[in-house]
Structure 1
């Protein structure tokens, strides 16, 4: 009986200590002003208010088509341009080029890659390297970036 009481007391102390540590950490971060990086500023020429707040009835949210902004947060400051589909990628035709090879990249912020220049995203690098591949020399290779920040299996 005494062992059960000791176990219950120890578990209770552990839970209370954990909750206390989380609260102290949260208060400390707020006092220091440490928060999630702000969303990118919108370009004055763009009629959209934000790149990431457009509501989508099927996915919850999506990028605003043709939006532009300048990213100054974490990573490399760079211009962000969304294509007509609302994705951070080059503008592509809806029809596949004749003798073309299209590869679709699906993913979250790692795929969208707003922290680097568009030409430095892994999709752009894959496209460039595949285009240089001797086996694909006669084909137009397009690696299409469908990554959106925050997307997971629910989208």
Structure 2
């Protein structure tokens, strides 16, 4: 079965979220750069099964995000939520006997969908901490519109839904050049259109809603800012000839702008925020990203997990005693 069909079959329409992962779906996804197995559990998560109830000795983390959190390009155990879970459980001591890190990442989700998903999953799993993976195209996702608009107008029409998921498959398989064409880099520009400015503000509002809902269920929130590949390795930019597309001096400007904006936002709103950009830039481990596909390799996911682990300890966001 072609990969395009497999990706489409992995999702089903949903009135609130626009689409969601199909429970118990299994597939193998193979490209020139990776060969992965994807298994969705009975709750529609790319993870193993969890008991909804947890005892007082379990510290539970819920990870929200898009294809980076989902682990596109790697097997489930090599995605940062599962690596983090293993790292935490290797350090178990005191009253916490077990750490669970539930991967609720869904390829193609934006911040608005993640907030809606949290309302559903938060009451189901009662996490102690919610991690939100934030990527620069999340602002574009908000600009496209809240997923309920798609659900109300198109979710009942199978043809439109499959066409939408075909677009999602292309999104996942895109090269860095296609990232530019899809306007992922708008946030790095000197000035914004009113429409983009509005989407940026709405993205921040969704993050505040995620924080407030998390507090309502006695949970903390961590924003994880995920860098783009060209921010880490300039050769990815040069190999694609993107200077001609965006201007030869583009990379000489403030390419940390996305990270800076949301790091400042997190500080202002008192939301713990971890920008991965400086950590990834200083890493001696390569490659952190695939060459053609813009997602993390196993090494990228491991570095992300290690960074989160260290941040949780430093900020005392987990129980060590």
C-alpha separation in 1, matches of 2:81 and 2:32 = 20
Cα shift readout 1:62-93 (whole Å, capped 9, x = no counterpart): 00001111111364312210011111111111
TM-score (norm 1): 0.64
What runs of 5+ residues in structure 2 fail to find an aligned partner? 114-321
Equivalent runs, 1:1-155 vs 2, <5 Å: 38-39=3-4, 41=6, 50-52=9-11, 54-73=12-31, 75-135=33-93, 138-155=96-113
* Contact kept in structure 1, 2:66 and 2:107, CA below 8 Å: yes
Structure 2-normalised TM-score? 0.32
Q: 1:154 to 1:39 in 2, by over 3 A?
A: farther
Greater displacement, 93-102 / 113-122: 93-102
Compare CA radii of gyration and give the structure with the larger one: 1
Q: CA deviation at 1:139?
A: 1.1
CA distance in 2, matches of 1:74, 1:147: 24
SS of equivalent residue, structure 1 residue 151 = coil
CA distance in 1, matches of 2:96, 2:112: 38
Q: How far, CA to CA, are the matches of 1:147 and 1:120 in structure 2?
A: 14
Structure 1 residue ranges without an equivalent (≥5): 1-36, 43-48
What is the root-mean-square deviation in Å for CA atoms of aligned residues? 2.3
In 2, the alpha carbon distance for the partners of 1:76 and 1:137 equals 40
Per chain length, whose mean CA-contact separation is higher, i.e. which structure has more relative contact order (CA < 8 Å, sep 6+)?
A: 2
